[in-house]
């Protein structure tokens, strides 16, 4: 089933993002945990592609396993940076063979020193190019794309970022997953601006579970998202007093607070960046269970 169709059901939901274990040997343990994730009844699962050094080949195996063995609709991420139309087609054929009907179509980031990949003549250089290509060769595929509450670091200005996101919708993306962000208000601002610009697709907010201060610094530089001075100071002073344990406890409470605000404020669901961690995810879903109806 296309995930965009599932999103039309009335009930509010959580969905989960996973990354494939780096080593094949790590999969057994992942599968045991994934069964526990399935018990949390997510609307769908998405599996990253090559992000943070995770293996690319693992993406389809894990997505197929979610769909076939756990009966959870799964979306495979795919990045087109440096890919030819032929390599995209091979990935799509593999998805179809495995019965996978949903893709998160991404541009991806060029490795350092290979920035020329952003501009290959006749290549697929943006997510929008990829979405149009998928629509041409595989019209029955459900397509999701990214949206950025803090504008993407490469965008010229906020207005262009919004217009470009709307273009991805017109090209065939039927729902959006957002980049992580730290204030619910900027998600609702994004939704408002997209709707004003003619976007008809659902925009599902992505929520990160803060685990330690080093991770926050890494995310800030990697994704170029904004964090308020107040929140950063709070995290830094917690770290000073109680180390990573104190930050982790706060991070979990913050993810619950964010998820509740987003669901109460009108978001249809929350896409949890689970970092493959079951216990935190279970606590967050439980803490919001009264809103999941
Ligand atoms: C939900 C989510 C999941 C992700 N999963 C993965 C993953 O699995 N693997 C991985 O490697 N990375 C992943 N990423 C990171 C992603 O690859 C990077 O953020 C990358 O820099 C942009 O990819 P994109 O698909 O958003 O690009 P695009 O949507 O193509 O472009 C990003 C931005 O560039 C600007 N832009 C691009 N083209 C134009 C244009 N023609 N005109 C105007 N502006 C333009 C816009 O501001 C746009 O928002 C993910 C990101 C998110 C938010």
In a domain, 2, yes or no: no
Within the chain, strands assigned E span: 13-18, 45-47, 74-79, 102-106, 142-147, 175-180, 202-208, 269-273
- pLDDT per residue over 16-68, tens digit each? 999 998 888 888 889 988 999 999 999 999 999 986 555 677 999 999 999 99
| Full residue range of the structural domain in which residue 16 is found | 10-291
What distance in Å separates the CA atoms of residue 7 and residue 293, rounded to the nearest whole number?
13
Q: Give the separation between CA 192 and CA 68, rounded to whole angstroms.
A: 37
Would the CB of 148 count as within 6 Å of ligand 1? yes
Helix (H, G, I), strand (E, B) or coil at 144: strand
- For every residue of 75-123, DSSP letters joined together read EEEEE-TT--HHHHHHHHHHHHHTT--EEEEE---PPTT-GGGGG-TTS
Domains: count for the chain: 1
What's CA 153's distance to the chain center, in Å? 17
46 within ligand 1 shell (Cβ under 6 A):
no
Whether 167 is in the pocket of ligand 1, judged by its Cβ within 6 Å, is no
Catalytic annotation on 86? no
Residue 92 resides in a domain? yes
Domain annotation covers residue 5: no
Residue 4 belongs to some domain of the structure: no
- pTM value is 0.96
Residue 3 included in any domain? no
Residue 77 alpha carbon to ligand 1 centre in Å: 12
| pLDDT tens per residue, range 165-214 | 999 999 999 999 999 999 999 999 999 999 999 999 999 999 999 999 99
Domain containing residue 170: CATH number: 3.20.20.220
Ranges assigned E (strand) in 98-257: 102-106, 142-147, 175-180, 202-208
Tell me how far the alpha carbon of residue 278 lies from the centroid of ligand 1, in angstroms: 27
């Amino acid at each position: 089933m296309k995930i965009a169709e599932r999103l039309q059901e009335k009930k509010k939901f959580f969905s989960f993002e996973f990354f494939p274990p780096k080593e094949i040997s790590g999969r057994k343990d992942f599968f045991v945990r994934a069964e526990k994730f399935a018990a949390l009844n997510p609307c769908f699962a998405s599996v990253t592609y090559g992000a943070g050094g995770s293996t690319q080949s693992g993406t389809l195996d894990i997505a197929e396993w979610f769909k076939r063995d756990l009966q959870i609709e799964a979306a495979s991420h795919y990045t087109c940076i440096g890919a030819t139309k032929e390599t995209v087609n091979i990935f799509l054929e593999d998805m179809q063979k495995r019965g996978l009907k949903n893709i998160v179509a991404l541009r991806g980031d060029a490795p350092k020193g290979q920035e020329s990949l952003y501009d290959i003549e006749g290549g697929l250089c943006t997510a929008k190019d990829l979405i149009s290509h998928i629509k041409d060769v595989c019209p029955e595929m459900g397509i999701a794309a990214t949206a950025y509450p803090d504008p993407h670091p490469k965008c010229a200005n906020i207005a262009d970022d919004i217009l470009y996101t709307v273009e991805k919708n017109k090209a065939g993306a039927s729902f959006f997953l957002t980049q992580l962000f730290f204030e619910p208000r900027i998600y609702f601002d994004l939704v408002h601006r997209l709707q004003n610009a003619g976007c008809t697709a659902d925009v599902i907010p992505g929520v990160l579970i803060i685990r330690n201060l080093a991770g926050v610094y890494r995310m800030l530089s990697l994704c170029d998202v904004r964090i308020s001075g107040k929140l950063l100071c709070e995290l830094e002073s917690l770290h000073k007093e109680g180390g990573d344990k104190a930050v982790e406890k706060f991070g979990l409470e913050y993810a619950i607070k964010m998820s509740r605000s987003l669901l109460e404020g009108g978001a249809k669901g929350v896409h949890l960046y689970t970092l493959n961690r079951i216990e935190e995810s279970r606590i967050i879903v439980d803490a919001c269970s009264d809103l999941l109806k």
